[in-house]
Structure 1
Amino acid sequence: MRTILLILLAAAAFALMPTIVGGGYFINIAIVVCIYIILASSLDIVMGWTGLYSFAHAAFLGIGAYTAAILGRDFGTTFWINLPMGMIVAGLFGFLLGLPLLRAQGHFLAIMTIAFQTIVYLVLSQWTDFTGGQYGIEVEPVAGFTALSSFFYLVLAFATICLIAIRLLTQSRLGDSLQAIRDDETLARTIGINSKAIKLVAFAISSSFAGGAGVLLAYHIRGVTPDDYTVLASATVVAMVVLGGRGRFWGPVMGAALLIVLPELLSSLAEYKHVFYGAVLILVTMLAPQGLAGKFLEWRAR
């Protein structure tokens, strides 16, 4: 409950940004930070708590975004229908992806997720009649939330709900099963944990949250194009989790905030942000392999 209270206090403090800062540029950055916090925290369910490396999270981000865009274009549905539908469709794809990955481990698993990410990108970019190809699909703003500040509050509320849900999940019996599989899957099976079913659930939940983030991103940038959902985008989310600390609740939050805000502060290096991400990962791996959150806990213990 202390962590949930901290989430609510942090969200309340973050909600003051439009009144304190007031500029659209800073609010825009805050919206992107919230979306990537959802992405990084949801990836950590698979990567940190279950110990499965996945480089396909941007694919689920794109599946959620394109689900919302296509439903709005073809059926005229609203955001309040598109958001849960984007989560459901992305979660279904995550479940289906998990089926062939049950026997894969280590770098084989990573390679298979990269292959899935590539397939999704090719479908989005080449199936022109359905997805719009490289031209993408335009997305109308959320009715009642057309102002940037009001949309920020909507995104912040969804991010807060997601973080609370992830916290409750990781502290439940399911979370204990995820950690048991991560630490020693053979031992977990021995004590009666159905590791295959738990992995499928982890993939489905993780991809579902990513799909929700994709819907929010589509409405924020008012459209979808396949170049926003590449393997580099997935690698960026992985970098956020590694930087913040895998398997630690505040780790992905810290990693997402830093890797979104720092390139903006160093705007002259914006074109080299992927080089920047790589350099940060190398330094963290060398100096703090447990991530920033783990380093902080170690420092506090000392």
Structure 2
Amino acid sequence: MQAATTIGSGNKPALTGFTPWLVCLAVFALLPLTLGPYWLNSAIMGLFYVMMASSWNLLAGYTGQVSFAHAAFAGIGCYTSGILSAKLGLHPLLGLPLGVAMAALLSLALGALCIRMGGIYLSLTTLGFSEIVRIVIQNEYEITRGTMGLKVPFIIGPYSKITAFYLMLAVAVAMVGLIAWLVNSDMGLKFRAVLNDETAARSLGVNVTRARVFAFVISGAMAGLAGSIYGHYLLLITPHIPSLDLMFHVLAMAVIGGLGTLAGPVVGALLLEVLSEFVRHFSDKYHILVFGCVALLFARFAPQGLVGLVGDWWKKAGAKGGE
């Protein structure tokens, strides 16, 4: 757990330029013109995981707090919006902000209670919270339909994978942009100060608890938004969304991509989603185990992740070329 907490140490969130991002975005935006329904669904899933991994990285990569409640907040946002739509007839576009608000409210309550503990105690507390949320959802059949799943309407207009793709893409880009702005703001400086040396940060006047709770709430709200959109895309919400299975999937993506970097969770999410589709062809049971093992190897031997490895290689290649 300590290794996971310090993976992001020393990484700077500075942007290297907008051109590579714009090129990648333009290429990705053209995918619906070339992909069939199966791989278009994988692209949509990849965008969902981009939102989840990026928002979790805001907490773990920039403040060093390892929480296992992220998938639970996605489930809270998802079920709040879904229940309001399915049971009360509220339009999904009105249910989405309420789902985000519920996720933010519960993350504030949880963060205020346990964020001071930090370390393994925070991880265990959020792990227990996540399981409580899943058990409640699974057993409140009259409200959530339990393991049978809750049918919900599509987020806007008639069902369309292309509509869902561009909606997911727009929200994912906005979320990554917000994270980029945040970590380069004064609050981002406080995040990094807390991550690198909590005692020194406190001695310089940084309210460590407030900075951590702020990151916890923003991260939870983003997860609630991602879960809400994801549920209305699937049309059927199940307890799989707030499960530890999904949580460990997100954790592996962020770690393998590179914690404490802006591009790391994006690269990790998209790469592992494509990889998971190939792994499922061989066995649908062991893909999470495979990702977990790969994440552990990266945490041990390449804590900077794929983005860090590519950055190091690029610097060495540039140094050799300048000789």
Instruction: Report the TM-score, using the length of structure 1 for normalisation.
Output: 0.95
Q: 1:280 aligns with which of 275, 280, 294?
A: 294
Residue of structure 2 equivalent to 1:14 = 28
C-alpha deviation, 1:3, in angstroms: 4.3
Candidates 32, 46, 62, aligned match of 2:59: 46
For 1:1-302, list aligned pairs within 5 A.
Answer: 3-4=17-18, 6-21=20-35, 23-144=36-157, 146-266=159-279, 267-302=281-316
Offset at residue 109 of structure 1 (A): 1.3
Q: 1: CA distance between counterparts of 2:27 and 2:166?
A: 12
Structure 2: unaligned runs, 5 residues or longer: 1-14, 317-323
The aligned residue for residue 7 of structure 2 is none
Identity across aligned pairs (percent)? 36
| Superposed displacement of residue 97, structure 1 | 1.0
String of CA shifts for 1:226-284, please: whole Å, max 9, x gaps. Answer: 13321121111111111111101111111111221102123213321112112212321
Q: RMSD of the TM alignment (CA)?
A: 1.5
Q: Which amino acid aligns with 1:86?
A: G
Contact 1:245 1:291 in 2 (8 A): yes
Q: Are 1:46 and 1:202, in contact at CA under 8 Å, matched by a contact in 2?
A: yes
More displaced stretch, 152-161 vs 138-147? 138-147
Give the partner amino acid of 2:313: W
Distance 1:7 1:92 in 2: 33
Change (3 A) 1:41 1:145: farther
User: How far apart, in 2, do the equivalents of 1:125 and 1:198 lie?
Assistant: 34
Residue 114 (structure 1) shift: 0.3
Task: Single out whichever of 79-88 and 212-221 deviates more from structure 2.
Answer: 79-88
Long gaps (5+) in structure 1: none
